[in-house]
Structure 1
Amino acid sequence: MAAFGLHEVLGDTGTNDQALSRPMHPKLVAHRRGPFRSSTGLMVTPDGGLNGDCADVIIICDIHLHHDDALDGRWPAEIEWVHRHIDHGSLVCSTCSGAVLLAEAGLLDGAEAASHWTMADLFRDRYPAVRFRPERILCDSGRGGQLITTGGASSWQDLALYLIGRFCGADEAARIARLFLLGDRGYGQLPFASMARPRQHSDAVISRIQEWLVDHYDTPAPVAVMVDRSGLSERSFKRRFSAATGYTPVEYVQALRIEEAKQMLETEDMGIEDISAAVGYEDPTFFRRLFKRRAGVTPAQYRQRNRLRSLPR
């Protein structure tokens, strides 16, 4: 859990003979006052509740969410606690899906925000005023640097180093990074991201096209074929497709093709040009540019990082 990792890393700041900065004193607080089990089964014993004095920094850690969870009115005490710290001038941070609580609190409207890439469809549908940045690991989310959001389950490490650097200096951040072997993730989250879950919808025509496209994404000029198969005018089809799925037809085809290319890069020995052609792109240069834009790395870099190797016999 991010909470335990943050507690250990931040708690080691400024504590030995090599440290040249003041120490941090992390505390774990929760709405529940007694020990409880987390969603992963770990026992959590808070140091205190939400009614104490305001802290210099608060961090909302990752939240276990199902796609059909009801969020209306879910965290009233926690949201009030966050607003109290914002009004106090505290630095308010979130890791991974913790940004959802900040979005529910209305603090991210009009700002950029990072969260786990699987939250993309939730932010798209429930928080349209938030400029969701799925490729970012750490994001200054406004209020003059008072809001920091991070993306990915292990992004608490980047947040820890950011906070140590901000409050204790670069030398101490470097020392902690060496001590805990906290590394760089300069490629961001996109190499690990998959196609966001399209919206559930009741448009039978668009559903039929989606089903057809699963096996025919490599069709030349696919959008024109999709329009023809739908029986709709091009304008009506594009409007209905976007309303139903949250993607334009072109974006949807590109996402499917790149996902298939990722699978091939992980499991096949085909050349990049052959993979490009197999997923529907005769121009490998265009394919490489598109792949890097959507995945954050080149096809060759993706293959190197994600190649599934056979276990030795």
Structure 2
Amino acid sequence: MAGLLLSLSNAAGPCLQTPWRLSDDRDIIGPIVPIGRTNPVQRIARTPVSVCLIALPETTPAALFSLFEVLSSVGLAWPAVTGEGEPHAGFEVRIVAPTGGVVKSGMGIPISPHAAFDDIESSDILIATDLEIVSGMDPRGRWPEAAAFIRRMHENGTLVSSVCTGSLLLAEAGLLDGQEATTHWAAAGMMETCYPNICLRPERILVHSGEAHGVVTSGGASSWIDLALYLIARYCGREEAIRAAKMFLLGDHSEGQLPYSAFIRPRVEGDAIVAEAQGWLADNYQRPHPVAEMVRRSGLAERTFKRRFKQATGYSPVDYAQTLRIEEAKQMLETGDLPADEIAYEVGYEDSAFFRKLFKRMTGVTPSRYRRRYREIVQKLDAAE
């Protein structure tokens, strides 16, 4: 899936071509709210947010390539996979290196940068991903070109961030002097010894400092996830961050993929009656017994309508309506505070026990567990603001 998403983001069309700034038939279905109606996704800028990822020989490729793919997919992968909304790039990501030539990482994996440091005049975001370090290593003076590049970008207003031991580059650039910062626990002693003016907080996963929170450091190697979600939420809105978490399963996987999945609304072609019913079902969420009403509006016999609906969409009318309703309930649980019983009523279920049973069958978790999962993401974003 990840490779597919990257190919989607790379093939999404003109929005990536903006210039880089270089130098059961139980019809108890009630109101159905169209997906996104309750919690509309914040509209992100049509001009992508520019991001530079620093590549050095000491760079470990995992976080660098993961950040590249996740950020590049924002605004593109979700519409492509689910059919919701118009695709547009949230970020334009480039890998940059001292000379622009291929960088052979310490893992032996070649990294091909898009540009050299000197080619980049400005960028909205700069990220120094984790570096391979060894015990007893002295980082001072080790990366002069990268340190100078980071200072220049910061002076030009770029948000500068790091993952794991990438914080050493920010320290070398002098951006962490007198500031709070975090790093991998194994590098904490090195940073305290070599950069005593830094207020190190190794117990933290994400720390922002400086004017307008212009410097952001994150802890261990997998903290690129926290940084990515923070940046997506900061620049594109929380809903996009939640979409990224769903698309890439960024979180606890012990309950499988169902809690992350989203309804991919089928496109109906060749059956105008079913297409009209599909649109009506999304828009007329206030009406009771929507399946019976769709049958009446179609002018078809009930068995004929249900057969054609299933043939065109892959869902029975009841299953389709229930799926829409559960999707709306998921969105309300992700970002709102309504109790599950009230959410059940809002999406059309008078029997909250039936709602809870159906929700668990369709998502793999209870409503309360689902809320906790995404509340953890929101709480992380709140803590980082």
Residue 236 of structure 2 corresponds to residue 175 of structure 1 = no
1:148 is displaced (CA, Å) by 0.2
1:102 equivalent to 2:170? Answer yes
Partner of 1:11: 72
Residue 296 (structure 1) aligns with: none
Q: Mark the CA change 1:121 to 1:19 in structure 2 (over 3 Å): closer, same or farther.
A: farther
In structure 2, the residue matched to 1:210 is: none
For residues 25-58 of structure 1, give each alpha carbon's deviation from its aligned partner in whole angstroms, at most 9, with x where no partner exists. 1111111322232111211111111012211100
- TM-score relative to the length of structure 1: 0.56
Give the distance between the partners of 1:152 and 1:144, measured in 2 at CA.
24
Whole-angstrom CA distance in 2 between matches of 1:40 and 1:118? 19
Residue in 2 that maps onto 1:26: 93
Identity %: 42
State the match for 1:81 in structure 2: 149
User: How far has the Cα of 1:68 moved from its partner?
Assistant: 2.2
Equivalent residue letter for 1:10: L
Measured on the aligned residues, the alpha-carbon RMSD in Å equals 1.8
Q: Deviations over 1:169-226 (max 9, x none)?
A: 1111100000001117xxxxxxxxxxxxxxxxxxxxxxxxxxxxxxxxxxxxxxxxxx
Residue number among 146, 154, 160 corresponding to 1:92 in the alignment: 160
Q: How much has 1:110 moved relative to structure 2?
A: 1.1
2:140–2:194 CA contact under 8 A, matched in 1: no
1:50 and 2:111 matched: no
For 2:131 and 2:93, locate their aligned partners in 1 and report how far apart those are by CA, in whole Å. Answer: 19
Q: Greater Rg, structure 1 or structure 2?
A: 2
- Conservation of the 8 A alpha-carbon contact between 1:22 and 1:168: no
Normalised TM-score (structure 2): 0.46
- Compute the displacement of 1:72 (Å): 3.2
Call closer, same or farther: CA 1:70–1:89 in 2, change over 3 Å.
same
Partner of 2:213: 145
What letter is aligned with 2:105? Answer: S
Query: Does residue 164 in structure 1 map to residue 232 in structure 2?
Result: yes
Q: Tell me, which stretches of 5 or more residues in structure 2 are unaligned?
A: 1-61, 253-385
Mapped contact 2:97–2:117 kept (Cα < 8 A):
yes
Task: State the one-letter code of the partner of 1:3.
Answer: L
Compared CA separation, residues 80 and 19, structure 1 to 2 (3 A): farther
- Give, in whole Å, the separation in 2 of the partners of 1:103 and 1:182: 29
Query: What is the CA-CA distance between 1:63 and the residue it aligns to?
Result: 1.1
The alpha-carbon deviation at position 19 of structure 1 amounts to 5.6
Q: Equivalents in 1 of 2:110, 2:85: separation in Å?
A: 31
Is the aligned partner of 1:36 residue 2:108? no
Query: C-alpha offsets along residues 247-269 of structure 1, whole Å, 9 cap, x if unaligned?
Result: xxxxxxxxxxxxxxxxxxxxxxx
- In structure 2, the CA distance between the partners of 1:69 and 1:23, relative to structure 1 (3 Å rule), is same
2-structure distance, mates of 1:35, 1:101: 20
The AA in structure 2 aligned to 1:36 is V
Deviation at 1:144, TM superposition (A): 2.4
